[in-house]
């Protein structure tokens, strides 16, 4: 049996257990390569070659990687049509496509393109995305691979002590009452953060946390700042 496979549907849900009713923990995007770790008939446990984050998928969305096949290029366009093994499909940013390498957008332009995209637990596309999916896609667009969830991402890169020492693109992490990292955002400046909470939005931030001006309250408590690097 082949071990390496390529995603050939626009979005392939990755679930915590081999069942449609199981929680969706992530999504695999068109053109991404995955390794098959285990299979139970039509349900396969797979993970991306670049990360250790396995999830169960239906094997109908996968094709075997050819022996001489090269990985595709990162798709920088938010949404576009792409020719795949199963025909012409709409693909989202982060997909791996055969067309020539596209240039990444500047941070502010990139951030504005995502505004209003709805929050979706485990989502990684323009149709719905979670906070760590957003930060992972941003850094991958720059050629730097981050782990999949916020707690894992909070352990990567240089620690930044204070917001006034931060740079645009640094990641800010937020904890809950138990001290567990539960949220991540991308700094646009030392007082603005892009994050996915209800939808992708830009909010104010200070050393205490994210301040929602529309609600007049702090919604997230700042725990730490990281600079993964480019």
pLDDT tens, residue by residue, 44-88: 999 998 888 999 999 999 999 988 899 999 999 999 999 988 889
pLDDT score of 230: 57
Q: Is 1-103 a CATH 2.30.30.40 domain? A: yes
Q: Tell me what pLDDT residue 2 has.
A: 52
Structure tokens at 151: 């707690």
CA distances 91 to 10, 95, 109, 141, Å, are 5, 6, 20, 15
Handedness of CA 156, 161, 167, 173 (dihedral sign): positive
The Cβ of residue 6 has, within 10 Å, a number of other Cβ atoms equal to: 22
pLDDT above 70: percentage of residues in the chain: 99
What whole-number distance in Å separates Cα of residue 164 and Cα of residue 153? 21
What does the alpha-carbon distance between residue 81 and residue 30 come to, in Å, rounded to a whole number?
11
Q: Judge whether 183 counts as a catalytic residue.
A: yes
Average pLDDT over residues 95-117: 91
Looking at the structure, give the CATH architecture of the domain made up of residues 107-227: Alpha-Beta Complex (3.90)
| pLDDT digits 0-9 by tens, 153-204 | 999 999 999 999 999 999 999 999 999 999 999 999 999 999 999 999 999 9
How many Cβ atoms are within 10 Å of 101's Cβ, its own excluded? 11
User: pLDDT tens, 27-39?
Assistant: 999 999 999 999 9
From the candidates 20, 73, 76, 131, give the one annotated as an active-site residue.
Answer: 131
Residue 1 pLDDT class (50, 70, 90 cuts): very low
Please identify which of the residues 17, 20, 76, 195 carries the catalytic annotation.
195
pTM of the model: 0.94
The answer to whether 1-103 and 107-227 have equal CATH topology is no
Per domain, the residue ranges of the chain are 1-103, 107-227
Determine which one of 17, 36, 73, 183 is catalytic. 183
List, as one string, the DSSP characters of the chain: ---EEEE-SSEEEEESSSSTTS-EEEEEETT-EEEEEEEETTEEEEEETT----EEEEGGGEEEPPTTPPPPEEP-SSEEEEEETTEEEEEETT-EESSPPPPPPPHHHHHHHHTTPBB-TT-EETTEE-HHHHHHHHHHHTT----SSHHHHTTSSEEE--GGG--TT-EEEEE-TTS-EEEEEEEEETTEEEEEESEEEEEEE-SSEEEETTTTEEEEEEEEEEE---
Q: Which of 59, 82, 43 is nearest to 5 (CA)?
A: 59
112 Cβ neighbours under 8 A, 6+ residues apart? none
Catalytic residue check, 131:
yes
């Amino acid at each position: 049996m082949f071990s390496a496979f390529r995603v050939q549907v626009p979005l392939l849900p990755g679930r915590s257990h081999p069942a449609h009713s199981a929680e969706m923990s992530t999504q695999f995007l068109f053109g991404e390569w995955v390794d098959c770790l285990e299979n139970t008939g039509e349900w396969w446990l797979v993970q991306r070659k670049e990360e250790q984050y396995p999830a169960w998928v239906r094997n109908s969305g996968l094709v075997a990687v050819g022996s001489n096949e090269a990985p595709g290029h990162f798709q920088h366009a938010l949404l576009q049509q792409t020719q795949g093994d199963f025909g012409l499909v709409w693909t989202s940013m982060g997909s791996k496509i055969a067309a020539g390498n596209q240039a990444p957008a500047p941070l502010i332009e990139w951030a504005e393109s995502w505004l209003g995209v709805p929050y979706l637990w485990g989502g990684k596309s323009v149709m719905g995305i979670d906070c760590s999916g957003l930060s992972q896609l941003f850094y991958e667009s720059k050629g730097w691979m981050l782990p999949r969830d916020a707690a894992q991402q909070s352990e990567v890169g240089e620690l930044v002590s204070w917001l006034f020492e931060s740079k645009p693109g640094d990641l800010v992490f937020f904890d809950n009452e138990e001290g567990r990292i539960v949220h991540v955002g991308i700094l646009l400046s030392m007082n603005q953060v892009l994050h996915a909470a209800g939808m992708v939005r830009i909010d104010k931030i200070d050393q205490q946390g994210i301040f929602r001006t529309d609600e007049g309250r702090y919604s997230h408590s700042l725990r730490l700042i990281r600079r993964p690097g480019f």
